[in-house]
Structure 1
Amino acid sequence: MPIKLNRSKLAATAVALLALSACDNQQKVYEQNDVVIHNIDKSVKPGDDFFKYANGTWLKEHPIPAAYSAWSIFNMVQEDLRNKMRKINEDAMKANAAKGTNTQKIGDFYYSGMDTATIEKLGLSPLKEQLARIDAIKDTKSLVDAFATLLTIGVNTPIGAYAGQDERNSEKMMLQLYQTGIGLPNRDYYLKNDEHTAAVRNDYQQKHLPALFNFLGNNNEAAKKAAQQTYAIEKFLADSSRTLQDLRDPYHNYNKMPLASLSKLSPLVDWKATFDKAYYEKVDSVIVGQPEYLRAVNAALTKFSLDDWKNYLRKNLLEEFSPYLNKAVADENFRFYGTVISGKKEQLPRWKRVLDVEEAVMGEVLGQIFVKEYFPEKTKKRYEEMVEAVRTSFKDHIDKLDWMSPATKKRAYEKLAKVYPKVGYPDHWRNYSGLEIDKHKYVQNIMNSAQFDRKFNASKLGKPVDRTEWGMTPQTYNAYYNPSNNEIVLPAAIFTIPGTADDKIDDAVVYGYGAASTIGHEITHGFDDEGRQFDEKGNLKPWWTPQDSAKFATRADMLVKQFNGYKVNDLHVNGKATLGENIADLGGIVIGLDAFKKTKQYKEGKTINGLTPVQRYFLGYALGWLGHSRKETLSNQILTDVHSPNFLRVNGPFSDVPEFYEAFGVKKGDKMWIDPDKRVKIW
């Protein structure tokens, strides 16, 4: 009697075997393309310095190249992008494209920047028209007119202005004024007396400024005198500028007023005429960030002579365009800003510098080409789905908060639900048809770009807010949260892990690298000490109960104290200035981890190269901050940046996460140990 075959059972068995084989194959792919295992330094105890444990071998094998102030995963991505952009530009130069096309603009801009013979021959002549305008200043009115005109080509003047969303009415674009006008990185460089800051300040006064005035045709004595006059103006403005931490208070830096009130702050400035010359027409009211600064500008207009101001503007004009002028001028700019401030030993090759400038000039033109070739739809879909996984995890965290009232939770849910994600690249590309590019005029191309951008910015006044606009190009290795739009913007390049295709990296690493340090981080910015003050529509408006605000502040203050305790190059980290980023780091880690716990990889619990899924998650996060910086760069970062140094963005928040202790067996006595009752938990 023939045996009857159970075909459905056989088919099911075959499918199961195929699935098992596919899983095994995928496991092998992950093992062979493991982007974290080879970076580990097993000589370092995870609980003493997890950053060095996770990245130490890479750090030893990759010293900082002479042309860089730091060497990190950012630089590796950037190098890959530059190589891709170089080919795009070289192809454009050969294309003989019609004038006005994007290809013509790409090719001619690149040619103009690489044509060092013409640049050297021209010397300072590209600045001739603007220098003549400064020479012609005869009174306060013409001085302020020069401020406005120079502003349109990107030159630093005492008047800083841009059109941006009204923080209390996010549907409206308003002209906003802010403190500016100084040449050193920020006001602390004029006021602090630590060794690094004092050395930078001394070089600026005694070497850099006199050198610029020498280039402008002054003899040594006249150059020294002009340098002293210019520094005196900058110091006066710095004295009335706010600190890094004070600039993070949105209410304190929001002062809306009609032009009549603005004129009371600075009566020597004809504000309507000034705005008109800077392309901001029909302005009847403004938002002033720092009113005391504008009072100082008004006082400076009478305190310092016209000759002092002319020298100040000549120096600012030359400083702005120094990197694009002849070799002697560009070398001095690099010596001070590259070496003295950042510790770089040599300049980047010319082609890399030109590409970096082109990125700033017309990055979206390049971005259109970049995403077609290097960001496939399946990758975009992976991260769009990850955004929603992180959003769900964040909602779960709000549900479980024991310190937040139901009333505030309800509003938090509403805000979270309306966070708008922009992933990869814009839906609509910017139109560059109005930008003129000439293959023989490098500096003029950059001036044209600045004017093009200024007019574009000014055109936003009186129009509906364009919520589709991006503030970064797709090939930017960065991301941001915009509180006025309640949006997260995640460029394609931010998800890149150099040398490895996205589909060959396991979820554990990707969730640490992308969901925690990027997606979760940016969403948490909407709920950090600054972002939480904006409602679901992007308006600066109280929506927390006073009691909940107080509880949040208590927890945030614990994080301030934690980071105040970290020291870098004898400088303490500024826990208040870095608070928003530190909250976002901690929030991103814990929210991203709980999102990862819902994945198949976490539930199966299989190891890859001896590492558990949770261990790989933490290593993936640490990979996002892989890198090291020169001493000078770290000191500058402590003084000027709201971000903590990379190693503290790993070790700092990990010390507050219980799962980190469990995953790596961290015990009391290990250097990263914090007693449970002192660990920070906000979101």
Structure 2
Amino acid sequence: MRVLLAGAAAAALLAPAAALAQDGHDHACIDQACSVFELFQTPAAQGGASGWQGTEAPKYGTWGFDLSGRDTSVDPGDNFFRYANGAAVDQLTIPSDRTSYGSFALLRELSDNRMKKLVTDLAARTDLAPGSDEQKIADAYRAFIDEARIEALGAQPLAPYLAAIRAADTHEKIAAYMGQTQGRVGGSFFGTGITIDQKNPTRYAVTTGQGGLGLPNRDYYLDARFADKKEKYQAYIERMLTHIGWADPAGSAAAVVALEDRIAQAHWTPIENRNRDKTYNEYSIQALAADAPGFDWNGYFNAAGLGSIDRLIVRQNTAMPKIAAVFAQTPVATLQAWQAFHTADAAAPYLSQRFADAHWEFRYRDLDGQPEQSSREKRAISFAEGALGEAAGRLYVAEYFPAESKAKMEELVANLRTALSHRIDNLTWMGAETKAAAQEKLQKFTVKIGYPNKWRDYSGLEIKADDLFGNAQRLARFEWQDDVSRLGRPVDKEEWGMTPQTVNAYYSSVNNEIAFPAAILQPPFFDPDADPAVNYGGIGGVIGHEIGHGFDDQGSKSDGDGVLRNWWTDEDKANFDGLTARLGAQYDEFEPLPGFHIQGSLTMGENIGDAAGTAVGLEAYHLSLKGQPAPVIDGVTGDQRFFYGWAQVWQSKYREDALKNQIARGPHSPPEYRVIGSVRNVDAWYDAFKIKSGTRFYLKPADRVRIW
């Protein structure tokens, strides 16, 4: 499955929420927007907000950190996030078209503003070559911005789909229709995609798993804390069914929610979905049909264009029979109403304003607390640059990514690798055999910086200046056909999982690679003119975080070639599991909101990544000094500047609903606790800030968890 983390508005039709195989992607990222589901649900999917207006990178103080952003009334041991960031966070105002705001959002706005200039400049030109990538970007924008035509069409683009749904009057026809939604508007009880095979990373495999839900995950159906969200969801379903003229919208909406309640009971939990050992289950279509009867698997895969495959990977294997049984027991009329709603829901951003408004009001306002919808222009730019992500990225790189930034990043990465290698050699809990395997994996890491060596070919994608909904459909089909065409071909190791204009970074376990797109290589993460300590705390911490994913509780299950296999001795694995359990218990104690504790087991991989980022990043900074003492700047020591750099990356605030959403389903801890949870386990932090016993987040040396 292709996962490109930019232009999510363009991607919504590619994998509607109801069809996603939950957590079926391979990338582990620094920021929460990496989650595939979040791509279609967070404000980032709607384009930039209203805070940062320029196209020039921001500056932080005179040497990379603004000391006036601290809150020195707070003891650093009581809350280092507040101590380092308190005044700056207090000054943040969450724009009305966002649910959170801070360092990542500011850089996303910088990237969005740059893309706005690039896209609108193209749209204003009349000399673009027909069929060129530039012409397609311009036409994608023009189609989205043509509100008069979109309003005139109303619900008309959905008519053939709704007619086909009404004609699907048997369970077998509904199953086939679900297969047809691969690469077009609609939904499925099962999410299917093309992924790199985790046990043979030289080839691609078809992967399928649980789907069928319109709310973020099973907890929104089964947890009383989200009862109000489910009630609003039912009202939203009724509203959408009314818009498309579906019979008995109120009764149908109630039936759809009851159906999804039953599906939710069968779903694996988010924590279970993280376990890579349990989510790799090899089947043939025939074996899956025997194991999960009640759903026409042959009809589904044939309709998806996958009828000839001889093997597939099933993620939530014990959930599949239960969901298939729910399908078989559900009246066809309810299945038709379910499909009609999910079709309208997925298509809504590309239809008239009453559809787009209803979609935004539930998906963004009611679920995440976002007060205002992003402007049509912002959404148009997001769609255009997302539809042709790498083509837009090529323009972005040419304009905004200097060659010297890539060279400096390569030096930083080299120092981080050296630092981790040194730390592996000196681990007291790991034996020689496992250390050798860990060192081999580290040496085999591939590093991607800035942008791809080769750009994607969009010649097969048709974009029209007067057909927004059609553009979205053709884009969905183009992406799906591109994915299917991979089967039987060698894995393309040159391909990126993010576009250059994406403010994020990732680790891929199957490729054993880390990637840092051009757009994240800006202050406060990376500033060529900043003090090195701040850069090592910022982008160095990000590099260490992504390398750390290769050695977290799930990434460590793959070897240096990306193969999912155990390369640990039993004793070392037991020691590792003991350390991660202790780290998870620390995060379980954090309670960002009353009644909402962080789930240490759900956020484990990211927490290990953060711990590695701070510990390894600090050692890399010391290596960069080449034996010389760190200078003191404005009375601030080198180690203090390092920790300030790490804390500054996470300056942010959330709306309450968005924070609840993040805690319930996100693999990342909230930003405040990413700072607190990581630094309190680093001995040097205690020395740097004179942290005393008795402060809130003080840990005795014996209680500090030192993994990597």
User: TM-score, normalized by length of structure 2?
Assistant: 0.89
SS class of match (1:503): coil
Could you tell which deviates more after superposition, 272-281 or 127-136?
Answer: 272-281
- C-alpha distance in 1 between matches for 2:206 and 2:323: 18
Structure 1 position 156 matched with structure 2 position 187:
yes
In structure 2, the residue corresponding to 1:348 is in which secondary structure? coil
Q: Secondary structure at the match of 2:73?
A: coil
Q: How does 1:524-539 map to 2 (within 5 A)?
A: 524-539=548-563
Q: Report the Cα distance in structure 2 between the residues aligned to 1:99 and 1:291, rounded to whole angstroms.
A: 48
Partner SS, residue 504 of structure 1: coil
Q: Pick from 153, 161, 176: which aligns with 1:130?
A: 161
In the alignment, structure 1 residue 587 sits paired with structure 2 residue 616: no
- The CA distance in 1 between the partners of 2:194 and 2:647, in whole Å, is 37
2:312 is the counterpart of 1:286: yes
In structure 2, the gaps of 5 or more residues are: 1-58
> Equivalent residue for 2:48?
none
Give the aligned partner of residue 420 of structure 1.
446
Cα distance in structure 2, aligned partners of 1:552 and 1:227: 48
Match of 1:366 among 382, 392, 403: 392
In the alignment, does 2:534 pair up with 1:509?
A: yes
Mapped to 2, the partners of 1:567 and 1:33 lie a distance apart of: 34
Question: What's the offset of the Cα at 1:141?
Answer: 2.0
Indicate the residue corresponding to 1:464 in structure 2: 490
More deviation, 366-375/261-270: 261-270
Work out whether residues 77 and 692 of structure 2, in 8 Å CA contact, stay in contact via their aligned partners in 1. Answer: yes
537-546 or 328-337, which deviates more: 328-337
Structure 2 matches for 1:5-44, cutoff 5 A?
A: 32-44=62-74
Match in the other structure for 1:395: 421
Does the Cα contact within 8 Å between 2:179 and 2:304 map onto a contact in 1? yes
Equivalent residue runs for 1:490-569 within 5 Å: 490-497=516-523, 502-516=527-541, 518-569=542-593
Question: Which amino acid in the other structure matches residue 324 of structure 1?
Answer: Y
| Deviation per residue, 1:66-108 (Å, 9 max, x gap) | 1110011111111111111111111211222232111110111
Within-5 A mapping of 1:87-106: 87-96=117-126, 97-106=128-137
Q: How far did 1:362 drift?
A: 1.6
Change (3 A) 1:501 1:536: closer
Residues 126-525 of structure 1 aligned to structure 2 (within 5 Å): 126-194=157-225, 197-205=226-234, 207-218=235-246, 222-280=248-306, 282-497=308-523, 502-516=527-541, 518-525=542-549
Query: Displacement of 1:501 after TM fit?
Result: 8.4
Does residue 641 (structure 1) correspond to residue 672 (structure 2)? The answer is no
Structure 1 residues 423-466: Cα deviation after superposition (integer angstroms, max 9, x where no partner): 11111111111111111111111111111111111111111011
Distance 2:526 2:517 in 1: 17
Q: What is the TM-score normalised by the length of structure 1?
A: 0.92
Deviation at 1:166, TM superposition (A): 1.4
Which stretch of the first structure deviates more once superposed, 34-43 or 557-566?
34-43
Give the whole-Å Cα distance in 2 for the aligned partners of 1:459 and 1:511: 41
Asked if the contact 2:218–2:269 (Cα under 8 Å) also holds between the matched residues in 1, the reply is: yes
* Deviation at residue 218 of structure 1 after TM alignment: 4.3
Change (3 A) 1:257 1:430: same
Contact 1:37/1:609 (<8 A) preserved? no
Q: CA deviation at 1:36?
A: 3.1
**Alpha-carbon displacement from aligned partner over 1:544-583 (angstroms, at most 9, x marks no partner):** 0001000000111001100000112221111101111101
Pick from 41, 45, 52: which aligns with 2:82?
Answer: 52
Q: Secondary structure at the match of 1:291?
A: coil
Whole-Å separation in 1 of the counterparts to 2:384 and 2:570: 48
Q: Find the residue that maps to 2:489 and give its secondary structure.
A: coil
Q: Are 1:153 and 1:451, in contact at CA under 8 Å, matched by a contact in 2?
A: yes
Q: Distance in 1 between matches of 2:69 and 2:160?
A: 54
Do the aligned partners of 2:221 and 2:264 also contact (CA within 8 Å) in 1? yes
Alignment correspondent of 1:18: none
Q: Distance in 2 between matches of 1:640 and 1:250?
A: 18
Distance 1:144 1:136 in 2: 13
Partner Cα distance (1:36, 1:278) in 2: 54
Any idea what the Cα deviations from partners look like across 1:585-611, whole Å, max 9, x if unmatched? Answer: 001110010000022398342222321
**In the alignment, what sits opposite 1:621?**
646
Task: Give the Cα–Cα distance (whole angstroms) in 1 for the partners of residues 510 and 583 of structure 2.
Answer: 25
- Structure-1 separation of matches of 2:441 and 2:92: 43
For the 8 Å contact 1:509–1:616, the answer to whether it is kept is: yes
Aligned counterparts of 1:275 and 1:527: Cα–Cα separation in 2: 36
State the distance in 1 between where 2:584 and 2:62 align: 41
**CA distances 1:277-322 after superposition (whole Å, capped 9, x unpaired):** 2233520111100123321232123211111111000000011111
Q: Offset of 1:653 from its aligned partner?
A: 1.1
SS of the residue aligned with 1:490?
strand
1:501 & 1:645 partners in 2: Cα distance? Answer: 22
**Are residues 626 and 199 of structure 1, via their aligned partners in 2, closer, same or farther at CA, if it must alter by over 3 Å?**
same
Instruction: Supply the distance in 2 between the matched residues of 1:107 and 1:233 (Cα, whole angstroms).
Output: 42
Q: Which residue of 2 aligns with 1:13?
A: none
Q: Which moved more, 1:436-445 or 1:592-601?
A: 592-601
Counterpart CA distance in 2 for 1:659 and 1:440 is 60
Match of 1:81 in 2: 111
After superposing the two structures, state which structure 1 stretch, 280-289 or 260-269, moved more: 260-269
> Aligned with 2:196: secondary structure?
strand
Find the counterpart in structure 2 of residue 10 from structure 1: none
Distance of 2:329 and 2:308 partners within structure 1: 31
Q: Percent identity at matched positions?
A: 35
Q: Is 1:597 the equivalent of 2:622?
A: yes
> 2:296 & 2:230 partners in 1: Cα distance?
34
Cα distance in 1, alignment partners of residues 634 and 661 from structure 2? 39
Shifted more, 142-151 versus 425-434: the winner is 142-151
Q: Which runs of 5+ in 1 are unaligned?
A: 1-28
Distance 1:36 1:505 in 2: 11
Structure 2: distance between partners of 1:501 and 1:354: 29
267-276 vs 484-493, greater mean Cα deviation: 267-276
Report if aligned partners of 2:64, 2:534 keep a CA contact under 8 Å in 1: no
Letter in 2 for 1:647: E
Deviation of 1:33 (Å): 4.8
Question: Which is further off, 305-314 or 258-267?
Answer: 258-267
Q: Is the CA contact (8 Å cut-off) linking 1:508 and 1:602 kept in structure 2? A: no
Alpha-carbon deviation of 1:273?
Answer: 4.1
Partner of 1:341, secondary structure, is helix
Query: What residue number does 2:143 align with?
Result: 112
Question: How many residues are treated as equivalent by the alignment?
Answer: 648
User: Which one-letter code corresponds to 2:121 in the other structure?
Assistant: D
1:51 and 1:628 map into 2 onto residues whose CA distance is 12
Q: CA RMSD in A?
A: 1.7
Q: What is the DSSP-based 3-state SS (H/G/I as helix, E as strand, rest coil) of the residue aligned with 2:388?
A: helix
Contact 1:574 1:638 in 2 (8 A): yes
Checking the alignment, whether the CA contact within 8 Å between 1:178 and 1:290 is kept in structure 2 is: yes
Partner of 1:24: none
